[in-house]
């Protein structure tokens, strides 16, 4: 706003005197932080941005046994105005590494050497046992061979997400991921699959190595199997820097739905490479009276990924939510336990038979 040019001198003097006598307003903590950050170099500012958002929003420092303030004391002195992008990316990655969280990421978008990605996720036992695409391809070929030997039909595929087949009395359904279809397409796929498996006595649902997806996708599938309205899960979101600074606990229910539903026995196959939304799927299935979980516990990484961008354009994500089962148990970092534990090993490939499928078939045979 422009001041008028013909203001009287006395008015100016009185105004100045009043301003000098008036008490200075208190500076808020946010203001102090802003004033301090204003004098920071670009690399220092990026460091403080990332550390600050994690300090306020990351939900599992205690679970991960990470002292976040100690991480600041350790790594902050390493960042100066002269810190290069490569050096800064390395320092930030080292700071994030102890979290060992697959939903924590740091990425520089670009091409060639400029593109960088970091995730402190620990390798699963399954991935250590089958570390290459070639071995994992053989793993799924072994499963196909096991089903064929048990009298199952040639598998059919829908949308690169569902693979299914059947024998006279049993069905098999692999869910490769928990996203990739719209609601209508997903409903059509489930109608078709469950329509073809409707007269079976039981279905083996295989979510081993499923990388996850969305809760909505999971819940839409579960409506076809759930017996009544139930609590699906509880969830609360980290809002501030305190250990218990969370928003209110929210409840998500699940109830029967869909044109074609299934009421037979369910054998759900999981391992520790079943991630995120696959964790949620296993958690919901574990509550159903007609479902048995077989294999190895799921990975134990439930939170949605809070995605943000730093002032230099780098992108990052973090876990900012705690999920709880209907019994209010948080399985983060532990995964959903199984009823019958059997771990796949590379020796299974030599035998040519999947012991997890074999156990599922054995248990279903006892129920027929």
pLDDT tens string for the chain (368 positions)? 333 333 333 333 333 333 333 443 333 333 334 435 568 999 999 999 999 999 999 999 999 999 999 999 999 999 999 999 999 999 999 999 999 999 999 999 877 778 999 999 999 999 999 999 999 999 999 999 999 999 999 999 999 999 999 999 999 999 999 999 999 999 999 999 999 999 999 999 999 999 999 999 999 999 999 999 999 999 999 999 999 999 999 999 999 999 999 999 999 999 999 999 999 999 999 999 999 999 999 999 999 999 999 999 999 999 999 999 999 999 999 999 999 999 999 999 999 999 999 999 999 998 87
How far, in whole angstroms, is CA 316 from its chain's centroid? 14
DSSP letter for 345, please.
-
Residue-level pLDDT at 368: 72
Residue-level pLDDT at 111: 76
- Give this prediction's pTM: 0.88
Cα 213 to Cα 28, 182, 216, 279, 332: the distances in Å are 41, 12, 9, 10, 17
Domain spans in the chain, listed from the N-terminal domain onward: 125-225+261-300+335-367
3 state SS of 310? coil
Q: Is the dihedral of CA 153, 154, 156, 162 positive or negative?
A: positive
Residue-level pLDDT at 228: 97
Residue-level pLDDT at 343: 97
Half-sphere exposure of 113 (CA within 13 A, CB side): 2
Rounded Cα distance, 295 and 209, in Å: 12
- Residues with Cβ < 8 Å from 280, sequence gap 6 or more? 215, 218, 233, 302, 323
What are the tokens at 37? 């950050």
Rounded Cα distance, 43 and 356, in Å: 51
Enumerate helices (H) and strands (E) in the chain, giving the number of each. 13, 14
- Helix, strand, coil percentages (3-state) for the chain, rounded to 5, are 40, 20, 40
Rounded Cα distance, 182 and 202, in Å: 27
CATH architecture of 125-225+261-300+335-367: Alpha-Beta Complex (3.90)
**Residue 12 CB: number of other CB atoms within 10 A?**
11
Are 280 and 215 within 8 A, CB to CB?
A: yes
Alpha-helix runs per DSSP H in 250-352: 277-285, 347-351
Rounded Cα distance, 298 and 164, in Å: 22
Rounded Cα distance, 232 and 256, in Å: 12
User: Closest by alpha carbon to 128, among 357, 333, 296?
Assistant: 296
Residue-level pLDDT at 38: 64
User: Closest by alpha carbon to 239, among 303, 320, 310, 323?
Assistant: 320
DSSP letter for 61, please.
H
């Amino acid at each position: 706003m422009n001041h008028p040019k013909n203001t009287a001198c006395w008015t100016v003097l009185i105004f100045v005197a009043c301003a000098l006598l008036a008490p200075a307003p208190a500076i808020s903590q946010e203001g102090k932080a802003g004033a301090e950050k204003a004098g920071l170099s670009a690399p220092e500012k990026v460091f403080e941005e990332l550390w600050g958002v994690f300090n306020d929003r990351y939900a599992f420092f205690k679970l991960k046994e990470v002292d976040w303030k100690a991480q600041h004391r350790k790594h902050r002195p390493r960042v100066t105005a002269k810190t290069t992008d490569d050096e800064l990316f390395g320092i930030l990655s080292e700071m994030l590494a102890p979290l060992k969280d697959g939903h924590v990421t740091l990425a520089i978008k670009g091409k060639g050497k400029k593109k960088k990605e970091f995730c402190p996720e620990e390798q699963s036992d399954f991935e250590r046992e089958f570390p290459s695409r070639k071995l994992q391809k053989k793993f799924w070929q072994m499963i196909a061979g096991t089903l064929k030997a048990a009298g199952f039909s040639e598998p059919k595929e829908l949308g690169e997400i569902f693979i299914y087949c059947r024998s006279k009395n049993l069905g098999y359904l692999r869910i490769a991921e928990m996203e990739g279809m719209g609601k209508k397409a997903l409903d059509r796929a489930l109608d078709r699959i469950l329509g073809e498996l409707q007269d079976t006595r039981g279905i083996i649902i295989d979510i081993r190595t499923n990388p996850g997806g969305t809760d909505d996708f999971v819940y839409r599938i579960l409506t076809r199997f759930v017996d009544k309205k139930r609590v699906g899960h509880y969830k609360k979101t980290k809002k501030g820097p305190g250990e218990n600074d969370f928003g209110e606990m929210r409840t998500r229910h699940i109830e029967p739905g869909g044109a074609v539903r299934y009421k037979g026995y369910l054998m759900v196959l999981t391992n520790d490479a079943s991630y995120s939304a696959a964790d949620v799927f296993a958690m919901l299935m574990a509550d159903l009276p007609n479902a048995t979980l077989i294999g190895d516990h799921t990975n134990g990484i439930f939170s949605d990924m809070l995605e943000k961008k730093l002032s230099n354009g780098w992108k990052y994500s973090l876990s900012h939510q705690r999920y709880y089962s209907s019994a209010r148990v948080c399985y983060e970092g532990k995964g959903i336990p199984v009823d019958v534990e059997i771990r796949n090993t590379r020796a299974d490939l030599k035998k040519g038979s999947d012991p997890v499928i074999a156990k599922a078939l054995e248990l279903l045979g006892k129920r027929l």
